[in-house]
Amino acid sequence: MSSKVKVATVQFEPTLGEKERNVAGLLELCEQAASSGAKLIVTPEMGTTGYCWYDRAEVAPFVEKVPGSTTHRFAALAKRHGCFIVIGMPEVDDDDIYFNSAVLIGPDGVIGRHRKTHPYISEPKWAAAGDLHNQVFETPIGRIALLICMDIHFVETARLMALGGADIICHISNWLAERTPAPYWISRAFENSCYVIESNRWGLERTVQFSGGSCVIAPDGTLPAVIDKGDGVAFADIDLAPARARRVLGEPVFAQRRPELYPELLTNTYSWNPRDFFGLYGHEPWPVGKRSRVSVAQFAPTSDVAANLERIAGLAAAAKGEGAELVVFPELAATGLTDPAGTAEPIPGRITARLAELAAGQGMTVVCGLAERDGNTIYNSAVLVTPDGKITTYRKTHLTMAERGWATAGDEWAVVDTPMARIGILIGHDAAFPEAGRVLALRGCDLIVCPSAVKGTFSAAHAGTEVMQPSPIPTGADAHHWHHFRVRGGENNAYFAFANVCDAANEDRGLSGVFGPDTFAFPRREAMVERGEGIATLEIDTSNPDSVYPTNVVRRKDLVCMRMPHSYRALVQSKASNF
């Protein structure tokens, strides 16, 4: 089997209830794609019928079994051209249950299907949640997985498919409420080092504006093919070899996973009222929360510890001047990146004593990275130091290949309760693993702090879209439309404070920021430092009205509540099934 495949994404505006018109239009676009040599063609969610159904009775005349008359028509095209096609349609099973389904069709007919597992607000009006989880289909052109729209919000879904060996995730959508290609789409390709072929509808249906932006996303997050607005087909020649290498920013991330640290992924701490859950039996109740200001500081540390601590003190004073109650410094900020083994210090020790003095003097919490020496063992660590001198230490759990030459991985998560928030700590490369942030979210963290020294490209611009969106959804150009660490906050409904090293000579890109807990809230709640030394400060809000159930998104965590952990066992198994 060749590792190179020509693929196509189809963008289409179906007309609600005009099934024959829709099927004919999709067949015409698929014919165009196949005649141009595409071997895998992906079409939008519910493209055969339209999407915005009132109820079960209204959609009933249009549901079909799989295989059925519609799949037969696409199978004939697939057989004629020797290609594979993904279609989106409403399906009915033998028990008269309806599903929003994606069907993979090849030259010999239906290969498999996926039923949307994570319903958006409209599906429960007519469809059941899908019962076919995390499948990967082996085909002559590669291993193919299917997801539908809302499914991709959840880090576990694409991760499970990548662990199952997927080269390509075909994601069919009726995406709305933001400029596309959507950051979530890009992050799922990027963090799993696989291709995502995105087919989204466009146009207005029952007052809902869909976003278009159909695309092919490469394993490094780049976009070899994009359609903005209108019906059409976009092509890309892809090479499966980079997907099968499973590297993120040059690191073999699947070999570096720590499944022994992920058992909590099979739980759902938000399945009950979280205000009750996190105070159950009086054990570790949530902090009350409040409005406060958080800063991230960006600079390039050296191997001169005294100089680093002086710079840290100056940046902390600047953050205090902006009203910050907490400031996060980069990974290894105190001891430097060039010789961490040589500059490592014990905890507690001289460095933490100076940080405690700084925290007390400024009346603020300080989070700072350093190389920690514990006897003959060295860790890449971060400390959270409160104004009263309490020190919490986190040892980086996911080490890069270079770090394995001098550091030992930690084996515990760190969560700290302060008056401003429940805070979780990650360090740099940890945040390349979606499992890590998810564990902290499941523990009820409002804020994740992440001292970092992340190299490479993890952000991309958008030139703007011609798709008109209701205010305040932006449509213009954006230099940082996709920022992978912004996504880390939104997917966990947590604030994410990413303090990165900025050193152009060593490919440390900076782009530090404090990112809000809802990536669909516009204008965005965030503050960034793009290049060079500096600080960025954001007001965060972890408070909640005195109500029985939390209404603040950072406390109710909708995207954590809607997970389906009963299907996640492979996340904690030591080896992937097909990888």
Residue of 130, 230, 125, 246 lying closest to 190 (CA atoms): 246
- Cα separation, 240 vs 26, in Å, equals 27
Encode 91-129: b = buried (16+ Cβ within 10 Å), e = exposed: bbeeeeebbbbbbbbbbeebbbbbbbbbbbebbeebbbe
Examine the residue annotation and report whether 30 is marked as an active-site residue of this protein: no
Burial class (CB in 10 A: 0-12, 13-18, 19+), 487: buried
Q: Is 193 left (phi over 0), alpha (psi -120 to 50) or beta?
A: left
- 198 tagged catalytic: no
The catalytic position among 149, 215, 445, 450 is 149
Closest CA to 351 of 372, 330, 331: 372
CB atoms closer than 10 angstroms to residue 545 = 8
Q: Is 331 annotated in the active site?
A: no
CA neighbor of 313 nearest in space, from 341, 351, 344, 348:
351
Catalytic residue among 13, 45, 178, 435: 45
Active-site residue (options: 19, 39, 116, 396): 116
Three-state DSSP class for 316? helix
Cβ distance 19 to 51 under 8 Å?
A: no
Whether omega for the bond prior to residue 523 falls within 30 degrees of 0, making it cis, is yes
Rounded Cα–Cα distance for residues 259 and 432 (Å): 14
- The tokens describing 163, both together, are 């662990």
Q: Active-site residue numbers?
A: 45, 116, 149
